[in-house]
Amino acid sequence: MSRSQAKSETLFAQAQQVIPGGVNSPVRAFKAVGGTPPFIARGLGAAIWDADGNEYIDCVGSWGPLILGHARAEVVSAACEAARRGTTFGAPTEVELLLARMIVDAVPSIESVRLVSSGTEAVMSAIRLARAYTDRSKVVKFEGGYHGHSDGLLARAGSGLATLSIPDCPGVPEAITAETIVLPYNNLTAVEDLLASRADEIACVLIEPVAGNMGVVPPAHGYLEGLRRATRNAGSLLVFDEVITGFRVSYGGAQGAYNVIPDLTILGKIIGGGFPVGAFGGRREIMDMLAPSGPVYQAGTLSGNPVACAAGLTTLQLLASEDPYVQLDRRAQFLADGLHQAASRVGVSITINRVASMLTMFFSDQPVVDYASAAASDTERHARFFHAMLDRGVYLPPSQFEAMFVSTAHTDSHAEHICETAKLALEEIAVR
Ligand SMILES: *Cc1c(COP(=O)(O)O)cnc(C)c1O
């Protein structure tokens, strides 16, 4: 196809001179699919335009935050108005209180919440708190689960590490990863056995209640309930990393949808309305161990930044008033059905996992229930499909191990167009 990329190619070459790999976060470099990443110039609603003027339907949504689409007018206005009043004070502001209150009202497990600047930072701080509260040191995570890039959590992680096949990361001392125990996702017995024998070492079990960073993998029936029971019996904290699923799977997150209440919850992405925000919260008794109420230190110059909080607050207010979750679910199902039809028409085996408005089309004829089954997908075929879609104006996540996100800006006609395009793309890659 004749998509012009001259400007993006020039920018990418120049960026590689001054930024490692030319990007500020690894998956953006397209390593898993090859080629040059389009440099994005602007976005509006469901569309983005690159530096060469190509238009795409965006199914990435900045990896999750943009549930209302790009540049939603009310969110942009709120951020601009906040910026005009001053961009940061390093002192408390009312908008932080308003955002915190909305989070507390929405998320069942959260009575008290601390705002930070990224999901990584929120997870890191929640773990410190869990260790202090339990006076234990070990953290259980799951294979293919991604919780940001802090040292202890890079062990067998998803997202960019799965994409780039990075098993262990240089620069992380073994003494630190030794504090992390990695178990397979969706295997309750593995957790029960571990907690039965070593409960007194385990500070917390950290999980994406719906996995989103090995591609979308829903929790098996009874799995989250089982984790709740096992951690409670062991005196370990159950920590839900809802950085993707918070305000996505339902207004109350995955915990609201599955009705399983963790001890601590981590948020990010959507709550910043497209600005850098993370948060962690839980029962007041645990959260009050944080400084200045308690001895566990945690701080940030730009934490609770008023511009970011104004954008996040407006996003949550719109989600609360418009309640788009039924519509998002229906549209995502429509998309999944259409992709299934497109694939079966050309005889390509796929497995689609979908939870609410997050979905992954795996090039696999097997059910995908954990990291091992996700990793068995045909990533080479995914890469060809990705490019065939990109050339036709549909921007998908540039890795098999990531989620597509549907936003309120995606209409039925966008969904139809994506499915029509998928038919053409799948035909193209099937004949070769
Ligand atoms: C994106 C993500 C993070 C990290 O958030 P950042 O803001 O990128 O640091 C943590 N956990 C999950 C589940 C994520 O998807």
Q: Does domain 73-322 have CATH number 2.40.30.10?
A: no
Q: Tell me: pLDDT of 164 over 90.
A: no
Residue nearest to atom 6 of ligand 1 (CA): 119
- Residue ranges of the chain that CATH labels 3.90.1150.10: 6-63+324-430
Average pLDDT, the chain: 96
Task: Give the tens place of pLDDT for each residue, 373-388.
Answer: 999 999 999 999 999 9
CB 12 within 8 A of CB 28: no
Q: How far is the CA of 268 from the centre of ligand 1 (A)?
A: 7
Q: Is the pLDDT of residue 162 over 80?
A: no
Other Cβ atoms less than 10 A from the Cβ of 352: the count is 18
Find out whether the beta carbon of 148 lies less than 6 Å from any atom of ligand 1.
Answer: yes
Residue 266 Cα to ligand 1 midpoint, Å, equals: 9
Residue 56 CA to chain centroid, in angstroms? 21
Decide: 246 in ligand 1 pocket, CB within 6 A: no
- Closest among 403, 381, 358, 375 to 144, alpha carbons compared: 375
CATH number of 6-63+324-430: 3.90.1150.10
Q: Which ligand 1 atom minimizes the distance to the CA of 145?
A: 13
Task: Flag the least confident range among 127-131, 169-173, 307-311.
Answer: 169-173
Percent of the chain predicted with pLDDT > 90: 92
Q: pTM (2 decimals)?
A: 0.97
Three-class SS of the chain: CCCCCHHHHHHHHHHHHHCHHHCCCHHHHCCCCCCCCCCEEEEEECEEEECCCCEEEECCHHHCCCCCCECCHHHHHHHHHHHHCCCCCCCCCHHHHHHHHHHHHHCCCCCEEEEECCHHHHHHHHHHHHHHHHCCCEEEEECCCCCCCCHHHCCCCCCHHHHCCCCCCCCCCHHHHCCEEEECCCCHHHHHHHHHHHHHHEEEEEECCCECCCCCECCCCCHHHHHHHHHHHHCCEEEEECCCCECCCECCHHHHHHCCCCCEEEECHHHHCCCCCEEEEECHHHHCCECCCCCECCCCCCCCCHHHHHHHHHHHHHHHHHCCHHHHHHHHHHHHHHHHHHHHHHCCCCEEEEECCEEEEECCCCCCCCHHHHHCCCHHHHHHHHHHHHHCCEECCCCCCCCEECCCCCCHHHHHHHHHHHHHHHHHHHHC
Give mean pLDDT, residues 118-145: 97
Rounded to 10°, the helix 188-198/223-234 angle is 0
Distance CA(290)–CA(125), nearest Å, equals: 10
pLDDT band of 173, cuts 50, 70, 90 = confident
| Closest-CA residue to 348 (of 356, 340, 358) | 340
**For ligand 1, is residue 118 a contact (CB within 6 Å)?**
yes
| Contact 219 CB / ligand 1 (< 6 Å) | no
All residues at 6 or more sequence positions from 362 whose CB lies less than 8 Å from its CB, including other chains: 215, 350, 351, 352, 353, 368, 374, 377, 400
Distance 408 CA to ligand 1 centre (A): 21
Residue 161 — very low, low, confident or very high, per pLDDT cuts 50/70/90? confident
If you measure from the C-alpha of residue 119 to the centroid of ligand 1, how many angstroms do you get, rounded to a whole number?
4
pLDDT of residue 275: 98
Beta carbons of 115 and 281 less than 8 angstroms apart: no
Q: Is residue 402 lining ligand 1, measured as CB closer than 6 Å?
A: no
The tens digit of pLDDT for each residue in 417-430 reads 999 999 999 999 98
pLDDT band at 2 (very low <50, low <70, confident <90, very high): low
Cα gap 224→260, rounded to integer Å: 7
If one residue of 67, 213, 360, 404 were mutated to test the ligand 1 pocket, choosing by the most ligand atoms within 8 A of its CB, it would be 213
| Nearest ligand 1 atom, CA 25 | 8
**What per-residue confidence (pLDDT) applies to 167?**
59
Q: How far is the CA of 279 from the centre of ligand 1 (A)?
A: 11
Q: Is 123 in the pocket of ligand 1 (CB under 6 A)?
A: yes
Q: Is the CB of 141 under 6 A from ligand 1?
A: no
What's the average model confidence in pLDDT over 216-240?
Answer: 98
Amino acid in position 340:
H
Q: Cα(373)–Cα(119) distance, rounded to whole angstroms? A: 26
Please determine, for residue 253, whether its predicted confidence score (pLDDT) is greater than 90. Answer: yes
Per residue in 21-35, pLDDT (tens digit) is 999 999 999 999 999
C-alpha to C-alpha distance for 43 and 117, rounded to whole angstroms: 23
* Residues marked as catalytic: 146, 241, 269
Residue nearest to atom 11 of ligand 1 (CA): 147
Tell me how far apart the alpha carbons of residues 30 and 351 are, in angstroms, rounded to a whole number.
23
User: Which protein residue has the closest C-alpha to ligand 1 atom 8?
Assistant: 119
Residue to probe by mutation, ligand 1, list 66, 120, 123, 302, most atoms within 8 Å of CB: 120
